[in-house]
Structure 1
Amino acid sequence: MKSLLCILFLLPLFGLTQVQPQPEKVKPFKFETIVQTGLLAGGSAEAFTLQTVNGFRHQKWFAGIGTGMDFYMQRSIPLFADVRYDFSTKRKTFFLYSDAGINFAWTKNREQQNIIDQSPGLFTDAGIGLKINTKKQDAFVISAGYSHKQLKETQKGFSWWGWPVESPETYYRYNYKFNRIAVKLGFVF
């Protein structure tokens, strides 16, 4: 009788140990691609931008490498490292992002034959955004931030001296610094 009472008393305790929640397993790294397009506003006009970023997500953190095309005054191709932090793992969450890298000049244009040299410069972009996850583990993202880009260029000057007088060669150096507000819309898969 005592052994039966012991078994009846201990049986619920074994059941409770089975019901206790198991510790959550840490999810491994997941590969993600972010494709986004947007508008760069500032200076005298607005311009179009297109970017793609490939990297790995671990819980709330994402790190990757990206490239894109920017179409304002001096067209350029940024190559950058991208870091993002999601505030939560819920379906809708805010995130912070920061990009840093090199901004390369677009290839020389036939119409700009006076360009002698173009040098890459600094690229930075940082901001905040909203991420809306879908049921298929994809997501829509919208963000607003501040973009800074630099380029250097050397141009050969034109002179209008008449013949037979030979004109001296003149060179102009330009250090372009573009500061823009960046509003982007994209998709994560």
Structure 2
Amino acid sequence: MNAIEKLQSERQRVVARLAEIDRILGQYEELQRIAESYLASGASHTADSGTVTDSVKTQAEAQREPSVTEPNLPRVKSPKTPMVEFERVVIELLSEAEVPLDRSALYKALLDREIVIGSPDESSDLNTLSARMSRMKDKVVNVSGHGYWPKDRAFLPGGYVPTGVDDMPSQDATSESGLV
């Protein structure tokens, strides 16, 4: 075995080990989310036959696997984020936003915050997101042509002024109050 072959072999071994570490970290994060969701909901947990820990391999087992050139990690399946946590993060995201977020932008922002919608694919996730957002009508509005926005905050470029505020935009609105 020449030097290049040795280096390639070492690289494959390291990549396989990194993939194993990534999988273990993903499982840890999944267990953490499960624990947090049970604590938040107060529900009791019953063990599944296919729990996360069933798929953990020892280092020796990982080293016996065929060589891997690039890590190909499947998305860790995790439970849906509870509605209370979902709503909290949505309100936080929209409060931080300078403009309304359309469904795709909100979806990406939620994924960045590790919020799990829980559908099998992105298309279904987007539909579920819309359904969840429709349940938040007391906190969020969908400004036509712009996206989701906090119900209590004016968005003058989209023509949205909260009702019941004497037609005065909230303090978060820009100085364009003469446009209404």
Q: TM-score range by the shorter chain?
A: under 0.3
Q: Which has the larger radius of gyration?
A: 1
TM-score, normalised on structure 1?
A: 0.21
TM-score, normalised on structure 2?
A: 0.22
Higher share in strand: 1
